[in-house]
Amino acid sequence: MRFSPEPLKLSDNTFIILRDLIHERTGLFYEISKQTMLADKLSSRVRELMFDSFLDYYYLLKYDIKADEEWQQLINILTVQETYFWREYDQIKVLVEVLLPQYLERFYSLSYPCQPIRIWSAACSTGEEPLTIAIALSEAGLFERVPIEIHASDASSRAIDKAKLGIYRPYSFRNFSEPLKDKYFSAEPDGWRVSPQIHNRIHWSVKNLLIESDIQYLAQAHFIFCRNVFIYFSEKSISKTVNFFYQQMFNPAYLFLSSSESLLKLKTKFQLEEIQGAFTYVKQQPKPPFF
């Protein structure tokens, strides 16, 4: 359906209202310098829908009864699915070698109900990050010592479909050792399939970090990995998300961001700590309840 005679060129005014709508719904924010980039990303989809303009597309997202379906298409187009196994492994190493053993010593040696330790990969893309966590936990023998839940989500349904499939190309293994690859993956015509014993450890879902009802359950975690997503968010969206994390997370709890992301300029109750060379944001209230 055509709503306007505007040609297929992203005008300044249309860019602003479309940019702001995308920001409100997804947290992704495009500076004015990214106007051409946004137009390039969306032009194929606009033509596919046989619209005459980006303004028509804005009206579809804003008012159409099928807007929710199109939002998922848009998120699949806009989100970056660039990741690989063992990425920024220093943080996962600290989780496995320092923080989880501390939890075992502080809580699981006491006579309290043995509830699972919950780990959430909050922007998991095609799944390499949560699978790295699961493999590291398996190598350390931690699955046998304590109940652990691993949840993994992404806003892109396309990314989660790939993660659920569990087949990876050579690029995903560029930082991965051959012995571990041989141990946890099997060769197939289309790539390497992760072993069921690892893949089935993870609960996959499509979730939008800006929708609190989407992530409330997942944010009730001891450890959250939310890496390489805030670089695309505005400060307002980051603050909203991390403050909700803080409200929902257990106490104590740890939030891991990528090395290119920081909360230091934002108002947040998280405290930045360095542990064996890896940085993490800590929720630590004076009288922590026992899970």
pLDDT digits (tens, 9 = 90+) for 76-115: 999 877 899 999 999 999 999 999 998 888 776 654 556 8
Domain assignment present for residue 233? The answer is yes
- pLDDT of 80: 78
Find out whether the peptide bond into 289 is cis, omega within 30 degrees of 0: no
- pLDDT of 103: 86
| Element of type H or E holding 212 | helix 212-219
Above 90 in pLDDT, residue 165?
Answer: yes
- pLDDT of 105: 82
Domain with 49 in it: what CATH number?
A: 1.10.155
Q: Could you tell me the pTM of the whole model?
A: 0.89
Cβ 74 vs Cβ 61: under 8 Å: yes
- pLDDT of 286: 62
Q: Domain residues for 152?
A: 89-283
Domain assignment present for residue 5? The answer is no
Rounded to 5°, angle at Cα 167 from 165 and 172: 130
Domain boundary among 27, 50, 78: 78
Give per-residue pLDDT as tens, 247-290.
Answer: 999 999 999 999 999 998 898 999 999 999 999 999 987 655 54
- Alpha-carbon span 207 to 227, nearest angstrom: 15
- pLDDT of 66: 82
C-alpha separations of 108 from 20, 133, 147, 221, 277 in Å: 47, 21, 10, 16, 26
Domain assignment present for residue 180? The answer is yes
Type of residue at 148? I
Q: Is residue 151 domain-shared with residue 273, that is, in the same domain?
A: yes
- pLDDT of 290: 47
How many Cβ atoms are within 10 Å of 20's Cβ, its own excluded? 12
What is 44-86 written as a DSSP string? Answer: HHHHHTT-S-HHHHHHHHHH-TTHHHHHHHHHHHHS-----TT
Give the closest residue to 153 by CA, choosing from 133, 125, 129, 194. Answer: 125
How many structural domains does the chain have? 2
What letter does residue 229 receive in the DSSP assignment? Answer: S
Q: Is residue 71 domain-shared with residue 95, that is, in the same domain?
A: no
Q: Is residue 121 domain-shared with residue 251, that is, in the same domain?
A: yes
Domain assignment present for residue 221? The answer is yes
Domain assignment present for residue 240? The answer is yes
- pLDDT of 81: 78
Q: Structure tokens of 247?
A: 């409200």
Domain assignment present for residue 262? The answer is yes
Q: Is residue 122 domain-shared with residue 238, that is, in the same domain?
A: yes
Mean per-residue pLDDT of the chain: 91
Q: Is residue 61 domain-shared with residue 94, that is, in the same domain?
A: no
Please report, rounded to a whole number, the percentage of residues in the chain having pLDDT higher than 70.
93
Q: Is residue 72 domain-shared with residue 184, that is, in the same domain?
A: no
| Mean pLDDT on 22-38 | 94
Give the closest residue to 243 by CA, choosing from 225, 261, 219. Answer: 219
